[in-house]
């Protein structure tokens, strides 16, 4: 019996309706290809921590200074997570309480900025996140965002434009990071620009932080004043966020997380973060992180052979952004056809025009044990699914997924 089925079996005795929902999701994950760049499969140990008695504990505050009693084991869990994160990323300080990546970014802004301050970040049409100035988000309502973009020909960040905009607008902070930029940011270049105009440098490393942990991507920690990240995605932990910074910003970050932007910490999630950090410190995770990148490059190359236009001409990370226009369709149409075939991915803005492409990642399929040969199979399944061979492709997708069950038999 797979470890992921055990909670469902226990739940079925008390709530058959919800047990059916969880079983349906388990079957969906096991029978299709999970290529959403922001998703992964946690380990059984992470799942165990999420379902632990710490889910019952209220622990507002920080270790040694809680607002509730009975926090001795909650303190140990958080201290372990903090120390493991500091060692893993070479940071002087870590706050592991943020509930999400967006919560981590909110805390960074709260610690360093005041409403009305100017912030320079990647524009949303080029891959910026909602927290990088969307008018629908707190960031766009509270701060004056200026967006930088990418070169129209290469799709790469235009650092001269970043410098020119920084000189013109004198931002209080510069944000480097994206949800769909498949190359490594030049953190040193951002640092130089920030220093020139007297701005804080905030790295939103939600996507690459797992690669950083595995030594497969450069670290923003030596360059940024504050690093915001998620603990899922490539890092393979529970859904949540964290903030890394130097000692000089530690107290401001902690106050910004609690009590300014959040209440009680989710202690079961923090325990699961500690488990994930411990796993990421092992040699096996280093091997995994490099395989994620190798698989992404192999998949990007194979998709290009099948007619996709790959933005920036490839990838350095776990994610790929591609334009299906040469195949006669836009991103939403491609996503719909692929979903019918059991291939799950996202759409994204493309760095030119106003059309949308597709965004996919290799973290989850690599966790399942797939390699470069399977990436070529997946690209062929993409092509078949987009041609409309739905039923046949769906069967082949299911067969491939069943060869690599995420939690074993």
Active-site residue, selected from the candidate residues 12, 26, 60, 186: 60
Active-site residue, selected from the candidate residues 233, 273, 335, 359: 233
Q: What's the start-to-end Cα distance of the chain, in Å?
A: 6
Active-site residue, selected from the candidate residues 58, 73, 159, 352: 58
The answer to whether 318 touches 207, Cβ cutoff 8 Å, is yes
75 is catalytic: no
Those residues whose C-beta lies under 8 Å from the C-beta of residue 290, and which sit 6 or more positions away, are: 214, 215, 216
Instruction: Please state, in angstroms and rounded to a whole number, the distance separating the CA atoms of residues 68 and 263.
Output: 12
87 CA to centre of own chain: 20
**Per-state percent for the chain, helix, strand, coil, to nearest 5:** 50, 15, 35
230 is catalytic: yes
Active-site residue, selected from the candidate residues 239, 335, 377, 394: 239
Active-site residue, selected from the candidate residues 39, 57, 84, 204: 204
42 is catalytic: no
173 CA to centre of own chain: 22
Instruction: Please state, in angstroms and rounded to a whole number, the distance separating the CA atoms of residues 6 and 386.
Output: 37
Active-site residue, selected from the candidate residues 8, 80, 131, 230: 230
Those residues whose C-beta lies under 8 Å from the C-beta of residue 239, and which sit 6 or more positions away, are: 100, 230, 231, 232, 269
60 is catalytic: yes
Handedness of CA 272, 273, 279, 285 (dihedral sign): positive
Active site residues: 58, 60, 204, 230, 233, 239
């Amino acid at each position: 019996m797979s470890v992921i089925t055990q909670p469902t079996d226990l739940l079925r005795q008390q709530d058959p309706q919800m047990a059916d929902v969880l079983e349906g999701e388990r079957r969906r994950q096991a029978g299709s290809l999970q290529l959403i760049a922001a998703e992964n499969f946690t380990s059984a140990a992470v799942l165990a921590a999420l379902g632990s008695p710490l889910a019952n504990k209220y622990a507002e505050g920080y270790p040694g200074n809680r607002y509730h009693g009975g926090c001795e084991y909650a303190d140990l869990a958080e201290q372990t997570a903090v120390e493991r994160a500091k060692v893993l990323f070479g940071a002087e300080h870590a706050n592991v309480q943020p509930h999400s990546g967006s919560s981590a970014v909110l805390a960074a802004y709260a610690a360093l900025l005041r409403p009305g301050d100017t912030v320079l970040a990647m524009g949303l049409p080029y891959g910026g996140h909602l927290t990088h100035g969307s008018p629908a988000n707190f960031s766009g309502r509270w701060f004056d965002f200026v967006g930088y973009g990418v070169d129209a020909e290469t799709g790469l960040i235009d650092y001269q434009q970043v410098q020119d905009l920084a000189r013109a607008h004198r931002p209080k902070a510069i944000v480097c990071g994206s949800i769909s930029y498949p190359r490594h940011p030049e953190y040193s270049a951002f640092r130089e620009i920030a220093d020139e105009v007297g701005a804080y440098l905030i790295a939103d490393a939600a996507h690459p932080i797992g690669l950083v942990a595995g030594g497969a991507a450069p670290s923003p920690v030596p360059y940024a004043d504050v690093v915001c990240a998620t603990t899922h995605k490539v890092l393979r932990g529970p859904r949540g966020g964290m903030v890394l910074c130097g000692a000089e910003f530690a107290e401001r970050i902690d106050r910004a997380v609690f009590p300014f932007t959040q209440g009680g910490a989710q202690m079961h999630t923090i325990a699961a973060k500690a488990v994930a950090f411990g796993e990421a410190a092992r040699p096996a995770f280093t091997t995994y992180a490099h395989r994620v990148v190798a698989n992404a490059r192999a998949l990007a190359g194979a998709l290009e052979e099948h007619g996709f236009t790959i933005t920036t001409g490839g990838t350095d990370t776990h994610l790929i952004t591609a334009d299906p226009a040469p195949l006669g369709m836009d991103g939403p149409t491609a996503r719909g056809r692929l979903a019918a075939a059991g291939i799950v991915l996202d759409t994204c803005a493309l760095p030119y025009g106003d059309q949308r492409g597709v965004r996919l990642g290799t973290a989850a399929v690599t966790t399942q044990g797939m390699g470069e040969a399977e990436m070529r199979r997946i690209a062929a399944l993409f092509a078949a699914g987009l041609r409309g061979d739905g039923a046949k492709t769906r069967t082949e997708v299911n067969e491939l997924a069943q060869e690599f069950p995420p939690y074993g038999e």
